[in-house]
Structure 1
Amino acid sequence: MIRSLRWKGAAFTVPFQLGFVLLYLLPIGYAVYQSLYRSQSSGLGLGGTTDTFAGLDNYRQGLTDPAFMGSMLRVALFACVQIPVMLTVSLALALFLDTLTARAAGRFRLFLLVPYMIPGIVAAIVWVNLYSPDVGPLTPLGRLFGFDWNFFAPSMVWPSIGNLLTWGGIGYNMMIIYSALQGVPRELFEAARLDGASEIRIARSIKIPHVRGALVLTALLSIIHMLQIFNEPALFRRVTPQTVTDSFTPIMIIYNQAFNANNYNYAAALSVLLALILGIASFLFYRITSREVD
């Protein structure tokens, strides 16, 4: 009887298991398979191409490719600035919501989640138009206050993209942190207030330590998302191709190799390398931060 119930329960997971195998495991396996081969033209190229086994040559080429490794470093440095800024703003908003009544907090939550509910490509198009010196309101608004800024200049591209990503991500991260705050016993706050602690002291000494796990989770998700950034720089490239090149981010290089250079084998190798780097970075970040949380 118990075994029968177990099989019936397991049967409910079959659709998920099929989707996981078909949409995740098989594509990953095929990418690894393709990364081990290299396409070579026959003769003068009139005889088509043949796939030959290359072993780890594509991976060696990727690890020594200055464009790919440079894009990884570029995005990593950007993440070191953008992610702390975004999480700091998200934490501040979550702490602010925690001081409000449930009704007022519900209204603010909905307002702050609107940017997250907008599809990323749509949000990028909106902000590119806002940044535009021809049709956007930000450039003439800056001139009124004496700022002659160009959001598409080489020195402003990353801050412009960072502002876009922060605008779209603070609502989601704020909700995770705010949910963690709701699990903190309210008695701790009352006891601290009776002892004369201010709201800032309560936030620093009680609330923030209790949401470190949520901060680690949001930071981990942000790292994974940051190394896969594509939509925002791709749209910026259409406006300023001199600044945002086709090797601006790792995903842009992979896209260019696969669909412009038709070098699917090398693109597959770069994809596997990016996945491995993401996995290692996430693992190291989790191990370091989990010790601090403990």
Structure 2
Amino acid sequence: MNHKNVTQVSEFLLHGFTSQPELRKILFPAFLFMYLLVLLGNTTIIFLIRSDARLLQSPMYFFLSFLAVCDLGFCSNIIPKAIENLVSQKKTISYQGCLTQIFFAIFIGNADSYILASMAYDRFVAICRPLYYSAMMSYERCVQLAAVSWTIPFFHSVLYTVLMSRVEFCNPGEIPQFFCDLYPVLDVSCSDSTVIELVLLTEGIVEILGPFVLIIISYIFIFYTIMKIPSAVAKRKAFSTCGSHLFVVVMYFGGISFVYFKPNAKLPERKDTVAAIMYTLVTPMLNPFIYTLRNNEMKAAMKRVYRKYFH
């Protein structure tokens, strides 16, 4: 327990990205531009898939539209406040705002993990069980997977938000991160955080690692099946259908693992800020490009939607 004076905290001070004014002047337009790309790219993905019947009927694009929703919501929960603090003299966030940010960061962040796991399962069925694909990945099954992907993280987030609302904080409540995250907020707590840390080490690890383990198992079977394909062309085609998704998985879980699953995770470092930028801003910005630039179906859908609405 921290032996500090307990006070009723109404707001927190966010350390932000840097304390150097000249560097903040560079980061502000850079991060603003990147955030606008997040908005444009993910909104375009959602619009294209929801406007094109061919894409919407495909489980892969059905889940991709939800992944875009997750990226849009996750980034918008964190980055606008961080950008505002780059040009603000008072780099603070209210107590209620901090709890709200924690709730949506956990909720949408974990939903993102489950959607990625659902996409891995879709690839597993398509490559390892192609004859049963229509039955195993029916529209009803996709809706069920999407519902689970949102429901479990919601209750997970409610649990942590309730636990954090009971935590007492110390003046001045300086959070060593650019947004309200569990470990940085707990670092300024004056309460005994044993219960929360125990939950993080048990339920939290299962919640975060569960989807990742499912993804790994899916790809073990996928790679085993692909290696048995005699045709080199067919192998390349099978690998190409998984490449974009696997790259996104590595980026997303790589950043999260660096922040949450290293020794002394409760003691944030400057490199943690870089890792957090990767999964809160860079990954949501790159996902639309990763899934569209080399995807002929998405390019064809763009042409169909363009002719439908602008011709």
Shared fold (TM-score, shorter chain, > 0.5): no
Higher relative contact order (CA 8 A, sep 6+): 2
State TM-score, norm by structure 1. Answer: 0.30
State TM-score, norm by structure 2. Answer: 0.29
